[in-house]
A and B are shown apart, each in its own frame.
Chain A
């Protein structure tokens, strides 16, 4: 009988439930509530469900005490030089307690006359694969910047750059809508973030999830969770964020402008475009290579006409698999100790500011083009310059049609919309170049 009670007690003491009663356990409970709220938004409200559901479930898994699927501290641990170890090096990380050991703690286990060990490097991906959990292993794809780039191949394969090639002026609207990126960057510095962190936060304004994740990973990996959640949540909220700004900054007359039909773009132009753009932009700003290179590669697969199978895989199977891994591993980074901070609230606020000012930037340049073209360009298409393809273009279409029911702006808005993807990649490339290691 005693044995049975002992076993039951041991089971209870080692269960995850006990984790809620340990120091800081209440934070895990709060994060579980956050995860459930995100699941509600993804499933019920359909806020970017393909990613948000994965992120929310990753948040849930990583905050269940004792699950051991993701070890935040391990990613901060270092490998030290250690002549007392057979491999000549030691990892100062306690797998059992899931925490980084201090050098002093480690020294206590060495002979008294031992010299203080020196840092060799951070844990390699091989070390992580050996001692990490499932989500640690999936997270390697984020850490190495693989997932965002693979998603960009899919995005490229899904994107028709025809409207942009037909009306290259649209490019300027895509550039203008990066205003929010730099405005939020400045705002983040104002709120006390470091340059790297501010750059990672600012890129939320690019309204481009993979770009935001890659930039954040390279500049401020500790902020990945809140930045990814803010970026994807606000992208889903574009139909609510943009229309009031559009109506405030444009007149009824401007919104009702019907634009001329776009010229037809030949197949050759569509094939040459990704090759030319990749070559030119990467030569101009080499740090954009992973994003622009993958985006244009995907687009080339779509347009060649001889790689239909690859294009199909990039658009469907690859995109779905990577989205699955990306969502759950980004969600895993939202560990309570790191997520429940004032900084998260600041990031959420700055993200909203970034989105709003990106819309403002696009609209203002749209209005300028309206004036310069003698009223031929509808300034609403400027708001589509924030990437968020094709949501932002649809919003421009809806608002244009409200002002003039015979207005069809969708194809015109797709130009700035896809230009926004290129614009945000250039903005990210600049920030990575300036603030990267």
Chain B
């Protein structure tokens, strides 16, 4: 089909091509969204309920050395080094746009995801 085209045919092909790309992509979006739904349904319920159901006794919380900076002094760290804790608090304060000394952190626990 290596022939000169008339402009009408070219316009139709162009519009149709663009529409096919959108249609293909729209169907693919549908597939990906469905995949996401199916996958997320398989995931265990996160955080709080999981903690409640967990029968395995967790070791008694042991404050990891001195309290992290910027807290009232009662922050408990579980498996989190001071340096990481300081960074987390700084990020939270920045995101919330609240000065660090106006925030109160109770505890920071590392959650291991498998």
Partner-B contacts on A (CB < 8 A): 164-165, 168-169, 171-172, 174-176, 178-179, 181-183, 185-186, 189-190, 192, 194-198, 220, 266, 268-269, 272-273, 276-277, 280-281, 284-285, 419, 422-423, 426-427, 430-431, 434-435, 437
With contact pairs A171-B32, A430-B20 given, residues A266 and B15 touching in the complex (Cβ less than 8 Å): no
B2 contacts the other chain (CB 8 A): yes
Q: Is the CB of B17 within 8 A of A434?
A: yes
> Which one of B3-11, B62-70, B78-86, B103-111 contacts A?
B3-11
B57 contacts the other chain (CB 8 A): no
Interface string of B1-34 (1 = CB under 8 A from A): 1111101011101110110111011111101110
Q: Is the CB of A430 within 8 A of B14?
A: no
Q: Which residue from A175, A192, A220, A277 sits with its C-beta under 8 Å from B21?
A: A175
30 CB contacts below 8 A, A to B, read A165-B36, A168-B32, A169-B29, A171-B26, A171-B28, A171-B29, A172-B29, A175-B21, A178-B21, A179-B18, A182-B14, A182-B18, A185-B13, A185-B14, A185-B17, A189-B7, A192-B4, A195-B1, A195-B3, A195-B5, A195-B9, A198-B10, A269-B36, A276-B31, A281-B28, A284-B24, A427-B17, A430-B20, A434-B13, A434-B17
B67 to nearest A CB, angstroms? 28
Most buried by B among A182, A192, A196, A273: A182
A283 to nearest B CB, angstroms? 10
Q: Is the CB of B24 within 8 A of A178?
A: no
A290 to nearest B CB, angstroms? 16
Give the CA-CA distance A419 to B15 in the complex, in Å: 20
Q: Select from chain A the residue with minimum beta-carbon distance to B24.
A: A426
Contacting residues, chain A, for B25 (C-beta < 8 A)? 171-172, 174-175, 419, 422-423, 426
Q: Is the CB of A273 within 8 A of B32?
A: yes
Contacting residues, chain A, for B36 (C-beta < 8 A)? 165, 168, 269
Q: Which residue from A176, A196, A419 sits with its C-beta under 8 Å from B2?
A: A196
Contacting residues, chain A, for B32 (C-beta < 8 A)? 164-165, 168, 171, 273, 276-277
Interface SS of chain B: helix, strand, loop or mixed? Answer: helix
B39 contacts the other chain (CB 8 A): yes
B35 contacts the other chain (CB 8 A): yes
Contacting residues, chain A, for B28 (C-beta < 8 A)? 171, 277, 280-281, 422
Q: Select from chain A the residue with minimum beta-carbon distance to B14.
A: A182
B21 to nearest A CB, angstroms? 5
B9 to nearest A CB, angstroms? 8
Q: Is the CB of B18 within 8 A of A186?
A: no
Give the CA-CA distance A198 to B20 in the complex, in Å: 18
**5 smallest A-B Cβ distances: which pairs?**
A189-B10, A175-B25, A182-B14, A168-B32, A195-B5
B43 contacts the other chain (CB 8 A): yes
Q: Select from chain A the residue with minimum beta-carbon distance to B27.
A: A284
Contacting residues, chain B, for A197 (C-beta < 8 A)? 2
Q: Is the CB of A426 within 8 A of B35?
A: no
Q: Select from chain A the residue with minimum beta-carbon distance to B2.
A: A196
Give the CA-CA distance A272 to B5 in the complex, in Å: 42
Chain B: interface residue count, which band? 20 to 34
Q: Which residue from A182, A185, A276, A285 sits with its C-beta under 8 Å from B35?
A: A276
With contact pairs A165-B32, A431-B17 given, residues A175 and B4 touching in the complex (Cβ less than 8 Å): no
Contacting residues, chain B, for A198 (C-beta < 8 A)? 5, 10
Give the CA-CA distance A198 to B3 in the complex, in Å: 11
Give the CA-CA distance A169 to B25 in the complex, in Å: 10
B110 to nearest A CB, angstroms? 16
With contact pairs A171-B25, A172-B29 given, residues A182 and B15 touching in the complex (Cβ less than 8 Å): yes
Contacting residues, chain A, for B7 (C-beta < 8 A)? 186, 189-190
A150 to nearest B CB, angstroms? 24
Q: Is the CB of A195 within 8 A of B39?
A: no
Contacting residues, chain B, for A266 (C-beta < 8 A)? 39, 43
Q: Is the CB of A185 within 8 A of B10?
A: yes
Q: Is the CB of B21 within 8 A of A423?
A: yes
Give the CA-CA distance A341 to B109 in the complex, in Å: 69
